[in-house]
């Protein structure tokens, strides 16, 4: 199970891993290509210690340790400033090659189990690297007695086993190695970013993420619905063959199979936070259920910030608030046709200063009874559940409640939202859990959770429904109530509405 979780984590953030790995690889490759090319000249040397006091026929353990120390001493002395400064003076390279640079380019490496070691010199010129190597050996051999303070030595203890040889191709920088290293660093950086985001971010990333965090799966997932106006985002009318439109229509099965003694007649659509997309969900859900043959009344019970009238291009001069103020008024006079057969809208009406008092009044309870006679299903769009008390008052009268949450996009969409200053925030998982607890305490029947703005969903369905669109013969829409199911008015088809305005939900 753990391995499966890790693989799911990597798959979810594969786009970021590939992106940062590619960027790091390109940067590393460009950076390496701008470095100075260096050639290596190497020589193999032997420290001959069979002279002086080391020439004893039976060396003790201390003598062997001394031999080892002497070999290491030779290797270090050959890299000192004294030797290298004289090398530069002898070759006349004091101006061309700084002593500090040469110090960083000279190294020695012992060969394990032997008294042989390798002297390596790096330089931008192949021939000069070879010349520097030979000169270092010669200077050390000439000055060994003084450098090592060994007056007993009759000859130099340094023997050249292999003459200096310079490589024909540059050894530094190693473009392949450094590029691969940069890619690995980019991948590790992506994993760290992904881990920190998953660890500290409590927003929902889709159905699998919701099930992992809360232990329950969403009832349905809706992708990102785009449109310049609310009317254009009414996808069940403007694009009835879209996968998301079909998902809304599938709610008929959820409504029919809802476990209750009586058929589900009233449904409250609410959300934990204000910008989860509850209004667009209520509007599309009402259209979709009406298209399946039900008589639906859509009620805008958000008396603080009404928006449903914008989705259907209607005015908000009268509605629920005025109907509650006039108990004797006929309900049918306030139910407006929407251009969708079997769907009528009860707008919110003028904004009320005391919306909670109106929704909790006996007049509202009486109105609800009259509304039941007008439709098979009544859908209420309410303010967010955890922000104000309005939704809690409506839940008491409803047969079921649908919670709406906004998911965190995955893939490149997450990066786009992160860099954008104009986006709706995602619903935090603790906030959704709190909404669940509040509804359970109120003993409300919860239909389920609908996730909005889920990215990367049903790509195979998109191809299937795009074929259905192409098979349909274009028909000029008729502007009349009661038109055939699935057809739309010209105004909505073009995303235009004379009264449509920007809405935050």
Residue 482 CB-density burial (10 A; 0-12 exposed, 13-18 middle, 19+ buried): exposed
SS3 assignment for 283-301: HHHHHHHHHCCCCEEEEEC
Q: Note the Cα 190 to chain centre separation in Å.
A: 10
How far apart, in Å, are the Cα atoms of 134 and each of 46, 94, 97, 140? Answer: 15, 17, 16, 10
pLDDT digits over 331-350, tens only? Answer: 888 899 999 999 999 999 88
What pLDDT score does 410 carry? 57
302 close to 281: Cβ distance less than 8 angstroms:
no
| Residues near 125 by beta carbon (within 8 Å), at least 6 away in sequence | 39
Of 145, 115, 128, give the one whose Cα is nearest residue 87: 128
- The DSSP letter of residue 489 is -
Q: Exposed, middle or buried, 275 (CB in 10 Å: 0-12/13-18/19+)?
A: middle
Q: Rounded CA gap, 240 and 235, in Å?
A: 7
| Site of tokens 């991948």 | 187
The structure tokens listed for 213 are: 């965090």
Q: How far is CA 283 from CA 27, 245, 315, in A?
A: 49, 12, 16
Peptide bond into 432 cis (omega under 30): no
Q: Which parts of the chain register pLDDT below 50?
A: 1, 51-54, 207, 421-422, 458-460, 473-504
H or E element: which one contains 164? strand 158-166
Residue 34: C-alpha distances to residues 101, 172, 393 (Å): 18, 11, 69
Q: Residue 277's closest CA among 311, 253, 240, 324? A: 311
Looking at 95-155, list the stretches that DSSP marks H as alpha helix, in order from N- to C-terminal side: 99-105, 126-148
C-beta of residue 482 within 8 angstroms of C-beta of residue 435: no
Of 107, 104, 101, the C-alpha closest to 75 is 107
Q: Cβ distance 220 to 402 under 8 Å?
A: no
DSSP letter for 332, please.
T
Quote the pLDDT of residue 464: 53
| Predicted local confidence at residue 467, as pLDDT | 54
DSSP label at residue 155: S
Proportion of the chain above pLDDT 90, given as a percent: 29
pLDDT score recorded for residue 116: 87
Give the strands of the sheet with 336-337, arranged side by side: 220-221, 446-452, 400-406, 266-270, 377-381, 296-300, 343-346, 336-337
State the Cα–Cα distance between residues 198 and 37, nearest whole angstrom: 43
pTM exceeding 0.95: no
Domains and CATH numbers, the chain: 2-34+174-196 (no CATH), 39-166 (3.30.1890.10), 203-493 (3.40.50.300)
Q: Quick check: 342 and 294 in contact, CB under 8 A?
A: yes
Q: How many CA atoms lie within 13 A of 22 on its CB side?
A: 6
CB 300 within 8 A of CB 320: yes
Q: How far apart are CA 46 and CA 135, in angstroms?
A: 17
Give the three-state DSSP class for 348: coil
Q: How many CB atoms lie within 10 A of CB 81?
A: 11
Partners of 379 in the β-ladder: 267, 298
Q: Report whether 214 contacts 448 (CB < 8 A).
A: no
Q: Distance between CA atoms of 69 and 77, rounded to whole angstroms?
A: 12
The answer to whether 190 touches 13, Cβ cutoff 8 Å, is yes
Q: In whole angstroms, what is the distance from residue 372 CA to residue 247 CA?
A: 26
């Amino acid at each position: 199970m753990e391995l499966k979780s890790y693989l799911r984590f990597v798959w979810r953030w594969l786009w970021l891993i590939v992106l940062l790995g590619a960027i790091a690889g390109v940067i590393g490759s460009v950076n390496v290509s701008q470095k100075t090319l260096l050639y290596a000249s190497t020589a193999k040397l032997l420290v001959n210690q069979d002279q002086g006091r080391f020439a004893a026929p039976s060396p003790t353990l201390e003598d062997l340790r001394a031999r080892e120390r002497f070999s290491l001493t030779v290797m270090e002395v050959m890299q000192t400033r004294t030797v290298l400064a004289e090398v530069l003076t002898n070759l006349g390279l004091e101006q061309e090659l700084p002593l500090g640079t040469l110090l960083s380019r000279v190294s020695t490496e012992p060969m394990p189990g032997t008294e042989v070691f390798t002297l390596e010199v790096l330089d931008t010129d192949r021939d000069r690297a070879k010349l520097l190597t030979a000169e270092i050996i010669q200077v050390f051999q000439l000055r060994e007695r003084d450098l090592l303070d060994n007056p007993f030595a009759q000859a130099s203890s340094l023997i050249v086993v292999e003459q200096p040889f310079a490589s024909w191709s540059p050894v530094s920088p190693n473009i392949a190695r450094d590029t691969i290293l940069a890619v690995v660093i980019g991948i590790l950086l992506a994993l760290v970013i992904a881990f920190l985001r998953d660890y500290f971010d409590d927003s929902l990333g889709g159905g699998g993420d919701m099930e992992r965090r809360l232990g329950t799966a969403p009832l349905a997932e809706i992708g990102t619905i785009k449109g310049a106006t609310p009317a254009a985002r009414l996808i069940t009318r403007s694009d009835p063959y879209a996968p998301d439109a079909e998902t809304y229509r599938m709610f008929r099965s959820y409504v029919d199979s809802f476990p209750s003694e009586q058929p589900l007649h009233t449904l409250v659509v609410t959300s934990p936070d204000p910008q989860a997309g509850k209004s667009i969900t209520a509007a599309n859900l009402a259209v979709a259920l009406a298209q399946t043959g039900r008589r639906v009344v859509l009620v805008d019970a958000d008396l603080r910030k009404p928006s449903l009238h914008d989705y259907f291009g209607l005015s908000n001069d009268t509605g629920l608030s005025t109907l509650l103020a006039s108990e004797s008024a006929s309900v049918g006079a306030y139910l407006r046709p929407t251009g969708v057969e079997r769907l009528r809208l009860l707008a919110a009406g003028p904004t009320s200063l005391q919306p909670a008092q109106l929704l909790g009044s006996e007049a509202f309870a009486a109105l609800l009874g009259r509304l039941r006679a007008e439709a098979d299903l009544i859908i209420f769009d309410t303010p967010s559940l955890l922000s104000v008390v309005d939704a809690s008052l409506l839940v008491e009268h409803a047969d079921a409640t649908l919670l709406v949450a906004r998911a965190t996009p995955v893939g490149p969409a997450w990066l786009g939202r992160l860099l954008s200053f104009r986006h709706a925030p995602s619903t935090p998982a603790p906030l959704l859990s709190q909404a669940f607890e509040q509804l359970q305490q109120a003993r409300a029947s919860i239909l389920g959770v609908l996730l909005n703005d889920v990215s990367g969903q049903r790509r195979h369905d998109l191809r299937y429904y795009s074929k259905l669109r192409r098979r349909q013969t274009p028909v000029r829409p008729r502007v009349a109530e009661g038109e055939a199911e699935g057809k739309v008015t010209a105004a909505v088809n073009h995303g235009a509405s004379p009264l449509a305005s920007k809405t935050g939900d």
